[in-house]
Amino acid sequence: MKNKTPQYQVVVSDKAKDMLFEHARFLAQVNINAAEGLFDEFEEKASSLEEMPERYAFYINPYIKANKYRRFSL
């Protein structure tokens, strides 16, 4: 039987939350259903990281600024 307890805690930064809300606010001016769908999809994808954090691995690329787009500084 599969254990349903999350293995990892997903933390969304305040900056990321602000960006999400700003994008949803803009999107709602065009299509309210799309804005609501954005939140639903974000919640679904973020919660799936509790069990599969490797889905969105860190980028290791010298051309991407450190601490952006899940790229960590070495």
Four-point Cα dihedral 34, 40, 41, 44, nearest 10? 180
Residue showing tokens 């980028």: 59
Q: What is the DSSP letter of 68?
A: S
The region, left, alpha or beta by phi > 0 then psi within -120 to 50, assigned to residue 32 is alpha
> Taking the chain (74 residues) in consecutive chunks of 10 residues, what is each chunk's mean pLDDT?
68 88 94 93 87 69 62 44
Rg value, the chain, Cα: 15
Per-residue pLDDT, 20: 92
Residue 58's alpha-carbon distances to 28, 69, 70, 73, in angstroms, are 31, 8, 5, 10
